[in-house]
Amino acid sequence: ATQQRSYHERVLDHYNNPRNVGSMQKNNADVGTGLVGAPACGDVMKLQIKVDPNNDTITDVKFKTFGCGSAIASSSYLTELVRGMTLEQAGKIRNTEIAKELCLPPVKLHCSMLAEDAIKSAITNYYTKNPKAKQTDLGGT
């Protein structure tokens, strides 16, 4: 047996025990909501962040994903990753980091892309609601 956990183990752990499933009050000023879909398969991910306006830090994260196991695992892992990050740090997360952590095979790369799109969309939504907050350059993809 190998020391490396396999794709299935990593994905199944998050799939069977997804972290931070749920939703937040979308109308609250300190909540940013991202809702994105994957054109390739029609899967949908909703990701919400709660932000401390004093230091632009993500204090809570919730997600709901209607999609495949890899998409659920990607969003679950992402929620663990971004908690405690500043918006700027969270905006720099790339799907390749998620895919690498979960050992996603190439055919499942777009599932992790959904998670990257979702966090960016949530940050953008937060800034739309809080135009005075410092703008983060989310970069291109």
Nearest to 116 by CA among 85, 83, 71: 71
Size of the residue set binding ligand FES (CB under 6 A): 11
- Say if CB 29 and CB 128 are below 8 A apart: no
Among positions 33, 48, 57, 70, the unique one binding ligand FES when judged by CB under 6 A: 70
CB of 137 to ligand FES, least distance (A): 26
- Say if CB 53 and CB 65 are below 8 A apart: no
Residues 4-63 that bind ligand FES (CB under 6 A): 38, 40-41, 43
Q: How far apart are CA 102 and CA 115, in angstroms?
A: 13
DSSP assigned state of 108: G
CB of 68 or CB of 98, closer to ligand FES:
68
Residues of this chain that bind ligand FES (CB under 6 A): 38, 40-41, 43, 67-68, 70-71, 110-111, 114
